[in-house]
């Protein structure tokens, strides 16, 4: 059985040691004169547009005014991210590169991304860890601010690329947040939660993913879960 394997980025594939949060703060300050404390916000699993609206609504901005400046926000964010998400700062998480090598060599697997990052930001981050080549396509926060809408986008793109229409449990979503699990549930996708990010293991387990791992380092068990 063929599998479409969709990876989240932050906390699942990589850590950027705060590069993206720093870039987001700088872009918010430049674009919206925002000077609040971002440390009180949990970005895990949220799309970039959701993060922007969450923060700026709290600061009193209207949706219309937020939307009107989003192109400026993303331009400034990407500029700063590119300067900071460098190979010395962005690192792949334990077990990830070995797992991707195995999956890339498996003829029944199509690899792709499912991430809340806008696509240019996703590519900058993955470039810092030299992981872009594993992922020819994906579904991104720039496709939809609603993460639950991203799995069908990834499925449609996969069908255009390799001609196969993935359905239900043959779509495998791997992530480190509760939203990675939740976005797969309406589509009957296989969900694999990995406690490699900021979300505690007990919270991930409470979402009832099909599989749970502390990290991606148990390659044999990860491959069984993905290919079942």
pLDDT mean over 170-193: 97
Question: Pick from 56, 84, 112: which residue ends a domain?
Answer: 84
The shares of helix, strand and coil residues in the chain, as percent rounded to the nearest 5, are 50, 15, 35
What pLDDT, on a 0 to 100 scale, did the predictor assign at position 168?
A: 96
pLDDT mean over 186-213: 97
What pLDDT, on a 0 to 100 scale, did the predictor assign at position 127?
A: 98
Do 159 and 217 lie in one domain? The reply is: yes
Confidence of residue 6 (pLDDT cuts 50, 70, 90): very high
Q: What is the dihedral of CA 38, 41, 45, 48, to 10 degrees?
A: -40
pLDDT reading at 176 higher than 90: yes
- The whole model's pTM is what? 0.96
The CATH number of residue 66's host domain is 1.10.150.240
pLDDT reading at 148 higher than 90: yes
What pLDDT, on a 0 to 100 scale, did the predictor assign at position 35?
A: 93
Question: Pick from 40, 58, 84: which residue ends a domain?
Answer: 84
Q: Which of 22, 15, 46, 7 is nearest to 196 (CA)?
A: 15
Average pLDDT, the chain: 97
Do 9 and 61 lie in one domain? The reply is: no
Q: Which of 173, 177, 175 is nearest to 198 (CA)?
A: 177
What pLDDT, on a 0 to 100 scale, did the predictor assign at position 206?
A: 98
What pLDDT, on a 0 to 100 scale, did the predictor assign at position 1?
A: 87
Question: Pick from 84, 100, 124: which residue ends a domain?
Answer: 84
pLDDT reading at 163 higher than 90: no
Neighbours of 165 (CB within 10 A): 12
CA distance 190 to 12: 16
Do 114 and 49 lie in one domain? The reply is: no
What pLDDT, on a 0 to 100 scale, did the predictor assign at position 162?
A: 86
The structural domain count of the chain equals 2
Do 216 and 125 lie in one domain? The reply is: yes
Question: How confident is the model over 30-58, as pLDDT tens digits?
Answer: 999 999 999 899 999 999 999 999 999 99
Do 157 and 200 lie in one domain? The reply is: yes
Do 97 and 152 lie in one domain? The reply is: yes
pLDDT mean over 171-187: 97
Do 167 and 142 lie in one domain? The reply is: yes
What pLDDT, on a 0 to 100 scale, did the predictor assign at position 139?
A: 98
Structural domain boundaries, residue 117: 3-16+90-227
pLDDT mean over 123-134: 98
Question: How confident is the model over 55-107, as pLDDT tens digits?
Answer: 999 999 999 999 999 999 999 999 999 999 999 999 999 999 999 999 999 99
The CATH number of residue 130's host domain is 3.40.50.1000
What pLDDT, on a 0 to 100 scale, did the predictor assign at position 199?
A: 96
Do 65 and 30 lie in one domain? The reply is: yes
Q: Which of 147, 140, 165 is nearest to 3 (CA)?
A: 165
What pLDDT, on a 0 to 100 scale, did the predictor assign at position 17?
A: 95
CA distance 123 to 118: 9
CA distance 68 to 203: 36
Do 193 and 207 lie in one domain? The reply is: yes
Do 61 and 112 lie in one domain? The reply is: no
């Amino acid at each position: 059985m063929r599998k479409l394997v969709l990876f989240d980025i932050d906390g699942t594939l990589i850590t950027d040691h705060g590069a993206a949060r720093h870039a987001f703060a700088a872009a918010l300050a430049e674009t919206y004169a925002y000077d609040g404390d971002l440390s009180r916000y949990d970005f895990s699993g949220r799309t970039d547009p959701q993060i922007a609206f969450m923060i700026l609504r709290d600061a009193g901005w209207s949706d219309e005014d937020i939307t009107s400046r989003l192109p400026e926000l993303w331009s400034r964010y990407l500029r700063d991210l590119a300067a900071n998400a460098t190979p010395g700062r962005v690192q792949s998480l334990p077990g990830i590169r070995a797992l991707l090598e195995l999956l890339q060599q498996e003829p029944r697997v199509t690899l792709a991304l499912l991430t809340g990052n806008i696509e240019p930001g996703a590519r900058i981050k993955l470039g810092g860890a030299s992981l872009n080549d594993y992922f020819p396509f994906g579904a991104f926060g720039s496709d939809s601010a609603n993460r639950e809408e991203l799995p069908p986008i990834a499925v449609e793109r996969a069908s255009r690329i390799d001609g196969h229409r993935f359905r239900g449990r043959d779509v495998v979503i791997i992530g480190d947040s509760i939203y990675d699990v939740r976005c797969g549930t309406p589509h009957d996708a296989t969900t694999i939660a990995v406690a490699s990010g900021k979300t505690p293991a007990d919270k991930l387990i409470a979402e009832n993913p099909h599989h749970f791992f502390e990290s991606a380092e148990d390659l044999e068990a990860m491959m069984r879960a993905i290919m079942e």
